[in-house]
Amino acid sequence: MADYPWLDPHVSAGSTVAAGLAAAYLVAASLVFGRRAYSRLVAARAVGDSAIVRRKYRRTLVKQAALTALVLLVVAADPGIDRADLGLVWVHGDRSQNWWGWFAYGCGLLAVGGLVLRFRARRGGWVPGQRLFAALVARDGERGAAAAVAFGAGISEELLFRGLFLAVLVDRFDLNPVTAVVVLSVAFGAVHVYQGWLGVLGTGLAGVLFGMIYLGTQSLFMPIALHVLVDLRALVFVPVSGYAAAPKPAPARP
């Protein structure tokens, strides 16, 4: 691509099929079973059954490990793809210094925002968006597993959506990288459908941000790091607030 000459993958048919199978799995797991699985977690939280939640964490870790292994296997086995084509290199490029500044700013913003939200949650107050995924927020004895899931999500989802899937769209479907980022961000939001339309919108916008950082830095390091920090703040650092844990009020009858 003229604007991104460094992104020049030559994805084989086998790697394309592998990416398609991974995408089909994510669609089935999220769009077909996602809401049902999350409803079970909500029911488990209502009766204080953390065993179901811990089992969900373990299964998620297995899924994340399998998807990460798939991407690494494609890099190792496909001669038309090298590490740079999937962002598995260090930050570089003419404007990398500017991106480091923005990265530091983003990390600081996440840290300060996390402290504010943690204080608010401990007082039982409203934490923006937390009610959408409150059943997944770690309680006592769950934080280690939840932290592992946060790391796994940052690594596996970036390798897939900003790495392998992007390379397939650019090479096999001849999409401009920016267009591919937007398309994949819509898909990234859709796999979070269990959070409702606000969750889909929020994660979709995050996908655009991560994708543009990747194109600007030619590396997945910053998107992975920011993704992990966002998920750690959401699942581990900010406890579930009284507002998010309380059941939604039933709509008034006429």
For residue 73, is pLDDT > 80? yes
Predicted local confidence at residue 159, as pLDDT: 98
Question: What pTM was computed for the model?
Answer: 0.94
pLDDT tens track for 19-69: 999 999 998 888 878 888 999 999 999 999 999 999 999 999 999 999 999
pLDDT band at 214 (very low <50, low <70, confident <90, very high): very high
Return phi, psi of residue 93, to 5°. Answer: 115, 165
Q: What is the largest CA-CA distance in the chain?
A: 65
Would you say 113 and 127 are in contact if contact means Cβ atoms under 8 Å apart? no
| Count of positions (residues) in the chain | 254
Predicted local confidence at residue 53, as pLDDT: 93
Predicted local confidence at residue 97, as pLDDT: 80
What is the per-residue burial (b if ≥16 Cβ within 10 Å, else e) of 20-57? eebbeebeeebeeebeeebeebeebbeeeeeeebbebb
Task: Retrieve residue 86's tokens.
Answer: 């999937």
What is the Cβ-side half-sphere exposure of residue 235, based on CA atoms within 13 angstroms?
24
Average pLDDT over residues 93-99: 81
Report which residue type is found at 252: A
Predicted local confidence at residue 164, as pLDDT: 98
H or E, element range at 150? helix 143-157
Predicted local confidence at residue 248, as pLDDT: 66
Predicted local confidence at residue 253, as pLDDT: 55
Predicted local confidence at residue 96, as pLDDT: 78
pLDDT band at 2 (very low <50, low <70, confident <90, very high): low
As a whole number of angstroms, the distance between CA 54 and CA 44 comes to 11
Task: Retrieve residue 236's tokens.
Answer: 């581990």
Would you say 137 and 48 are in contact if contact means Cβ atoms under 8 Å apart? no
pLDDT tens track for 194-204: 999 999 999 99
Domain ranges of the chain: 13-245
The number of beta carbons lying within 10 Å of the beta carbon of residue 16 is 18
Rounded mean pLDDT of the chain?
Answer: 93
What is the per-residue burial (b if ≥16 Cβ within 10 Å, else e) of 111-133? eeebeebbebbeeeeebeebbbb
As a whole number of angstroms, the distance between CA 79 and CA 9 comes to 10
Task: Retrieve residue 243's tokens.
Answer: 């507002």
